[in-house]
Chains A and B, each alone.
Chain A
Amino acid sequence: MKRFILGLAPVLAVSAVAVTGLGMGIVLAFSLIISAGLVSLARKHLPEIMRGAVSVIIIAGVVTLVQAALFYLLPDMSSSFGIYLPLIAVNCYIYYTALIYGEGEAQGSPESSRTVLMAGLFIFLASIFAGLVREIAGRGAITLTLPAGGAGTLDLMKLLPPGVSISPAAVFIMPAGGFLVAGLALAFFQHIYKKRA
């Protein structure tokens, strides 16, 4: 069985704060499901040689729309995503899912629709998970609204019993911490796969 590690960049880049992890999860899942659906609809009306190119254009278009919408609706969130939002347009996770299940042989079957929906759900869960773990371990807080450290931040350090002073492990909000969390999650899934096999 082939296994890929895809979609790392956007998840790792913005998951240092819980709420941007959540936002990135929604954006990724939304773009993935919508673009896979559109690719799937367009497939029958195109000669085979055009499909790849048109799929790329559709994905880029969807991501551009999401980017524009976010820029007007949630400017804080949009600026905290930075360059990683437009970069979704070239993300392999979306390409892989959209091309294999939206455009490939299995297109249109209930199974492929289910796979696309699951792929969207899981990248959403992965983003939230990475955001929560990294912010709790690295900042000792959970941010529910932007900006981080503002009114919407739940400071877990205040919940410690008095007299105990522990500062959070800042490495988790650095890029290295993102890879650490990703590696540990990967080890966990590898363990499950090995048990099943």
Chain B
Amino acid sequence: MAAYEGKSGMVIFSPHIHSRSSIEKIMWNVVLALVPAVLAGIYFFGLNSLVIIFTSLVTCVASELVMCLFTRRPVTILDGSAVITSILFAFMLAPDCPLYIVISGAVFAITIVKWAFGGLGSNFMNPAIGGYIFVSASWHDIVTMHTDPLSVFKTGGWNSVMSTHFDNYLNLFTGNIPGTIGEISKLALLIGLVYLMVRRIVSPVIPFVFLGTSALFLWIFGGLPFGNTCFTGNPLFHLLTGGLILCAGFMAVDYVTSPLTVKGKIIYALCLGVLASVIRLWGDFAEGAFYAVALMNIFVPLIDRYTAKRIFGYGRSK
């Protein structure tokens, strides 16, 4: 890389792109975009979901503070990244989740998944998803055994969805359904996502390709687990249930754990869509999107390596 090494460190040669964005600005904007979904969770599930979100918030920020002091780094609790992790982590939990599970998952997310690998910018996996995987593996019966339209569909097929009246798309869209705190209201999540896209904080590539691939895949192969032929799936129902939109809009697009180039983003999102759908259709869990994101996070450095842009004047010319 064309770089100049001097007394004050290494500087990459000009042109430099100046931007007024900063970590704090981006992070607090994401927090703002999550507020509608927080309000929706509190509206539909009552104050208990606020208690869970607040517990997660306090625990994450406290863990961040402890790790900053322990590693003797500048204290970064106000940059908003721990706040985002805490809200996203609480979003994946059911509203009746015991508080000790919330606390241990939040501590795991910040101390192990984020700080053990070097803090913000160095974590290989989305901390919130890491925390969720920890609690869902540890307290499987408590964390993942809530009834939501997707698990009803998974166990009983379309007939039990009809009999439990979960086929009302308006309810699915606004969030008037059982589920986890953050993923129920697609409307609130989409409001936040549109805000982030308008402010140009989130590039639309990953959410659109992710959701598009999932919808296509679930449409083509969605009927197979129930003995139907191809092209009989119901992509709309799948998109409006579970955490697909939460994952695509707020977790898969995390700057640290998503590829840098547009080409890389497309590859990443394509794989995410296929993986999430495969886990949904044939996996043990009802919701596969979180695990798909966790798995693809690990491949992001590889994708970045193969899709890196050629620096002008370097490398082979073709």
A169 and B116 contact, CB distance less than 8 A? no
Q: Closest 9 CB pairs between A and B?
A: A169-B138, A171-B138, A171-B137, A170-B138, A166-B100, A167-B139, A171-B134, A187-B116, A174-B137
Interface residues of B in 125-143 (CB under 8 A from A): 134, 137-140, 142
Task: State the interface size on chain A (CB cutoff 8 A).
Answer: 13
Residue among A171, A174, A183 with max Cβ neighbours from chain B (10 Å)? A171
Q: Is B76 positioned at the interface, with any CB of A under 8 Å from its CB?
A: no
> Separation in Å of the B96 CB from the closest CB of chain A?
13
Residues of B within 8 A of A185 (CB): none
Identify the closest chain A residue to B141 (Cβ). Answer: A167
Complex interface: chain B residues within 8 A of A176 (CB) = 137
Which residues of the partner chain B approach A169 to less than 8 Å between Cβ atoms?
104, 134, 138-139
- List the interface of chain A (C-beta within 8 A of B): 165-172, 174, 176, 180, 183, 187
- Per the bound structure, the CA–CA distance linking A176 and B116 in Å amounts to 16
| A187 contacts across to B, CB distance below 8 A | 116
CB pairs A–B below 8 angstroms (18 shown): A165-B98, A166-B98, A166-B100, A167-B139, A167-B142, A168-B138, A169-B134, A169-B139, A170-B138, A170-B139, A170-B140, A171-B134, A171-B137, A172-B138, A174-B137, A176-B137, A180-B112, A187-B116
Q: What's the interface size class on B, roughly?
A: 10 to 19
Residues on the A chain within 8 Å of B116, using CB: 183, 187
Would you call B137 and A170 a contact (CB within 8 A)?
yes
Mask, B152-177, CB within 8 Å of A = 1, is: 00000000000000000000000000
Write the nearest CB–CB distance from B145 to chain A, whole angstroms: 13
B100: A residues at CB distance < 8 A: 166
Q: Which residues on the A side are within 8 Å of B137 (C-beta)?
A: 170-171, 174, 176
**Cα separation A172 to B100 with both chains bound (whole Å):** 16
Chain B residues positioned under 8 Å from A165 (CB to CB): 98
Q: Give every chain A residue within 8 A of B98 (Cβ-Cβ).
A: 165-166
Q: Which residues of B contact A174 (CB under 8 A)?
A: 137
For A180, what are the chain B residues with a Cβ–Cβ distance below 8 Å?
112
CA distance A171 to B104 in the complex (A): 12
**Nearest-Cβ distance from residue A195 to partner chain B, whole angstroms:** 12
Apart from A171-B138, A174-B137, 14 more pairs, CB < 8 Å: A166-B98, A167-B139, A167-B142, A168-B138, A169-B134, A169-B138, A169-B139, A170-B137, A170-B138, A170-B140, A171-B137, A172-B138, A176-B137, A187-B116
